[in-house]
């Protein structure tokens, strides 16, 4: 399979977004459950605004989706390949 250079640029940008310890932690949390910004911030020991920025970047690559229930917004993994990447990370570094 041959990838066009624009696809390679896009892939590199999305891989850069994954290459951050807090984003990986957030994804590992979301692997188990859908969570709100506040829940993710608390579990990651981050401020809500910092957590929101991490989520925004991952949403931009299509890794996450949101689901609203009343006034709460839940984040969840929407890209199935993320589960494979997390599995690879866990098997290599756990």
- The H or E element spanning position 92 is helix 81-93
Pair of tokens at residue 42: 């608390």
User: pLDDT at residue 59 above 80?
Assistant: yes
According to DSSP, the residues that pair with 64 across neighbouring strands are 77
**Rounded Cα–Cα distance for residues 7 and 16 (Å):** 14
Q: Which fold has domain 25-93?
A: Arc Repressor Mutant, subunit A (1.10.10)
Q: pLDDT averaged over the chain?
A: 96
**Rounded Cα–Cα distance for residues 39 and 46 (Å):** 10
User: pLDDT at residue 19 above 90?
Assistant: yes
Domain boundaries, the chain: 25-93
Indicate yes or no: pTM above 0.85.
Answer: yes
Cβ atoms of 66 and 28 within 8 Å: the answer is no
Closest CA to 66 of 58, 57, 75: 75
């Amino acid at each position: 399979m041959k990838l066009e250079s624009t696809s390679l640029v896009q892939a590199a940008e999305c891989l850069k977004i994954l290459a951050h310890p807090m984003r990986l932690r957030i994804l590992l949390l979301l692997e188990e459950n859908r969570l709100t910004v506040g829940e993710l911030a608390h579990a990651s020991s981050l401020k809500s605004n910092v957590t929101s920025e991490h989520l925004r970047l991952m949403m931009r690559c299509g890794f996450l989706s949101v689901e609203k229930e009343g006034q709460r917004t839940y984040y969840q993994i929407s890209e199935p390949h993320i589960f494979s990447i997390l599995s690879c990370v866990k098997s290599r570094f756990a």
